[in-house]
Amino acid sequence: MAENPFFAPSTLPYELPPFAEIREEHYLPAFRRGMAEQLAEVEAIAGSTEPPTFDNTIAALERSGRVLDRTATAFFSIASSNSSDGIMEIEKEISPELTRHSDSIRLDRALWARIKQVTTSDPEEAWLLQKYREDFIRAGADLSETEQARLRELNEELSRLSTEFAQALLKAATEAALVVEDPAELDGFEQSRIDSLRQDDGTYALPLLNFTAQPALSQLTNRDVRRRLFELSVGRAPGNFAIAARMAALRAERAALLGFPDHASYVVADQTAKTVEAVEEMLGQLVGPAVRNAGREAEELAGQAGFPIEPWDWPYYSEQVRKARYDFDDSAMRPYFELERVYRDGIFFAAGKLYGVTFSERPDLGGYHPDVKVFEVFEEDGSALGLFLLDPYARANKRGGAWMNNLVDQSLLFGLRPVVLNNLNVTKPASGPTLLTYDEVTTAFHEFGHALHGLFSQVRFPRVSGTSVPRDFVEYPSQVNEMWVTWPEVLANYARHHETGEPMPAELVEKLTAAEKFNQGFKTVEYLAATLLDWAWHRLAPGQEVADAEAFEAAALERAGIAVPQVRPRYRTNYFAHIFASGYSAGYYSYIWSEVLDAESVEWFKENGGLRRENGEHFRRELLSRGGSLDPLSAFRSFRGREPRIEPLLKRRGLD
């Protein structure tokens, strides 16, 4: 495998992975060589006869594992965005090996002994040293040999189960798709969308997106079709219930082994929340007002429908009520939200106004799929900043949702500038322009907020680069970026009719603004139900087994006071990928926790004149550029000038 592209740094600009050269057979040899090389590097660090210093221990660990890092970054991006049967088989095989590899480093007693002796007076080094010590303790470095052996078994089984959960979910998106023979059953869709759903056999298949209330429910006029779609959504991947229950039990056992009463306590100790009590206090302030709002909304929708509504009716009739009350039709906005213009004249325009950056498409640089576009990003003075990749379209081999990840971490240690990727799941039209819904536009701005966090990183060490911050802080900068979606100067620049170029009519903008708080009871209950379901699974005590996951789920929602029959959790257990196939276990609360900071920050921007360069510079300097190189709440206080308060969030959601 002398030609393996992972064995040496990429020669492309910014070390962009050479996707055109990478083949599936490259991954396993590169993973295994990368792990072997890093273990040799770690053995040299741990076995050094030199007194331990920051440079020969912590910085040396940061410098280790470059082949492995390049391989894993590219592979897991592909596994999420452009998978295949071969990729899925590799993932099954390599995930347990990677877990064993990580454990072999974190449980190395000689290495841990050296780390404990390191001292430094440099603030950034001291923070990284603290992070390493916390990482090793939380990984079980202080456990006995017997306890460490059991910990390794737990980690390996959890890794395997997480992969199984994710792959079952990916298959379910198409296997559980709504299939109809008569296109009349898709009444409510535009003809171009119906055409895009047509299969080779003449049927029409609507794949599932990864949440309960499928967006199509707001458009489909046939109630029975809506019911079928909803039932397919909530019933997908039924085998994942058992996987989830097993994972929750294993996580509880692991938490006890590490000295915590449950997995949630283990998780939040390393977050800005610090304690389960802090999380529960914040959630407790939201449940009552949200349920009351949802109850009022349900009564209103029943009046509109003429019968008690079911979960599959809510999105449809809420759209009817919104049209009637605000004379607002979401579909009337789509002609003004053309994908390329949203990015060029909206997202990039706002970033330019705030931060002085510019974007230039690089068609000479390829992604891992023809739909991926690559942009070079420049500072105001013309100097190079990094690369931004955009993969906007849904595919059968792409997981649901939207996300950002780094393909290259910014690091002064290696002299690397950032390469960041945004994934969306927009339906690609059979022909013509890609027109977005308002929610899809908001998602695009949100994910680009993550991208800015990665692009503006200016730190020495990859461990704390960009979005390497606590889970309950990472959503905060991206949520702030959503404020520019409807900012008048930004909206006027990008919201133009895709055929005529005419700006969105002022009255439509006014209706959008007036309608923004509509249906907040549903949205808040839907989110809180998922959050409290996550919390219930991860407050399980060690040894507490769940035989019937669906019954557990129902009881947990009742106990939390969030069981509203017409509003199901945004994610049920069987497709809750955030917590069973990603890094959000006992951390889904982080979206609302981050929104407290976000609402405070939006208030600050408005108080200080909004879309101004000096405001962007302040936010970038004090927060976005710092990555995880200091306490995140200290960064927030440096930006905002005070401790966060919940009142702006309650006001925003109409819960005050």
Residue where a domain terminates, one of 142, 175, 200 = 142
- State the average pLDDT over residues 96-104: 96
pLDDT tens sequence across 52-75: 999 999 999 999 999 999 999 999
What pLDDT sits at residue 652? 84
Residue where a domain terminates, one of 142, 172, 190 = 142
pLDDT tens sequence across 279-320: 999 999 899 999 999 999 999 999 999 999 999 999 999 999
- State the average pLDDT over residues 114-136: 97
Q: Which residues contact 122 (CB under 8 A, 6 or more apart)?
A: 54
- Whether residue 1 is predicted with pLDDT greater than 60 in this model: the reply is no
Q: Which of 446, 484, 447, 436 is nearest to 339 (CA)?
A: 436
Q: What is the DSSP string of 231-280?
A: HHHHHS-TTHHHHHHHHHHHHHHHHHHTT-SSHHHHHHTTSSS-SHHHHH
Q: What is the DSSP string of 282-342?
A: HHHHHHHHHHHHHHHHHHHHHHHHTS---TTTHHHHHHHHHHHHH---HHHHGGG-BHHHI
pLDDT tens sequence across 339-373: 999 999 999 999 999 999 999 999 999 999 999 99
What pLDDT sits at residue 2? 62
- State the average pLDDT over residues 213-224: 96
Ranges assigned E (strand) in 151-197: 178-180
Beta bridge partners, 386, equal 377
What band does 85 get if pLDDT is binned at 50, 70 and 90? Answer: very high
* Average model confidence (pLDDT) across the chain: 95
Beta bridge partners, 411, equal 416
- Whether residue 545 is predicted with pLDDT greater than 70 in this model: the reply is yes
Identify whether 117 is part of a domain: yes
Q: What is the length of the chain? A: 656
In angstroms, the Cα distances linking 400 to 166, 211, 370, 475 are 11, 8, 19, 18
pLDDT tens sequence across 384-423: 999 999 999 999 899 888 999 999 999 999 999 999 999 9
What pLDDT sits at residue 516? 77
Per-range mean pLDDT, top range of 55-59, 168-172, 323-327, 641-645: 55-59
Identify whether 369 is part of a domain: yes
Is the pTM above the cut of 0.75?
yes
- State the average pLDDT over residues 549-556: 97
Distance CA 520, CA 524 (A): 6
Q: Which of 369, 483, 362, 498 is nearest to 423 (CA)?
A: 369
What band does 268 get if pLDDT is binned at 50, 70 and 90? Answer: very high
pLDDT tens sequence across 512-528: 878 877 888 999 999 99
- Whether residue 336 is predicted with pLDDT greater than 90 in this model: the reply is yes
Distance CA 247, CA 242 (A): 9
- What CATH number did the domain enclosing 346 receive? 1.10.1370.40
Q: Which of 22, 37, 36 is nearest to 73 (CA)?
A: 22
Three-state DSSP class for residue 72: helix
What pLDDT sits at residue 375? 98
Identify whether 351 is part of a domain: yes
Left, alpha or beta for 50 (phi > 0: left; psi -120 to 50: alpha)?
Answer: beta
- Structural domain for 138, as ranges: 13-142
pLDDT tens sequence across 593-633: 999 999 999 999 999 999 999 999 999 999 999 999 999 99
- State the average pLDDT over residues 157-162: 96
Identify whether 415 is part of a domain: yes
Q: Looking at the 3D structure of the chain, how many domains does it have?
A: 2
Q: Which of 89, 82, 122, 98 is nearest to 31 (CA)?
A: 98
Residue where a domain terminates, one of 127, 142, 157 = 142
What is the separation of C-alpha 78 from the centre of its chain, rounded to a whole number of angstroms?
16
Beta bridge partners, 53, equal none
Distance CA 577, CA 163 (A): 10
Q: What is the DSSP string of 440-459?
A: HHHHHHHHHHHHHHHHT---
Identify whether 1 is part of a domain: no
Beta bridge partners, 69, equal none
What pLDDT sits at residue 322? 85
What pLDDT sits at residue 653? 82
Q: Which of 125, 297, 319, 447 is catalytic?
A: 447
What pLDDT sits at residue 228? 98
- Whether residue 109 is predicted with pLDDT greater than 90 in this model: the reply is yes
Identify whether 398 is part of a domain: yes
- What CATH number did the domain enclosing 127 receive? 1.20.1050.40
Amino acid at the residue 230: F
Identify whether 255 is part of a domain: no
Q: Which of 122, 62, 38, 71 is nearest to 462 (CA)?
A: 62
Question: To the nearest 10°, the Cα dihedral for 228, 204, 164, 471?
Answer: -80
By the 10 Å C-beta count (0-12 exposed, 13-18 middle, 19+ buried), 8 is classed as exposed
Would you state the structure tokens that stand for residue 243, as one six-digit string?
A: 């996987």
Identify whether 297 is part of a domain: no
- State the average pLDDT over residues 17-43: 97
Q: In what order do the strands lie in the sheet with 373-378?
A: 358-361, 373-378, 384-393, 419-426, 403-408
- The b/e string for 265-281 (b: 16+ C-beta within 10 A; e otherwise) is bbbbbbbbbeebebbbe
What pLDDT sits at residue 510? 85
- Clarify whether 175 is annotated catalytic: no
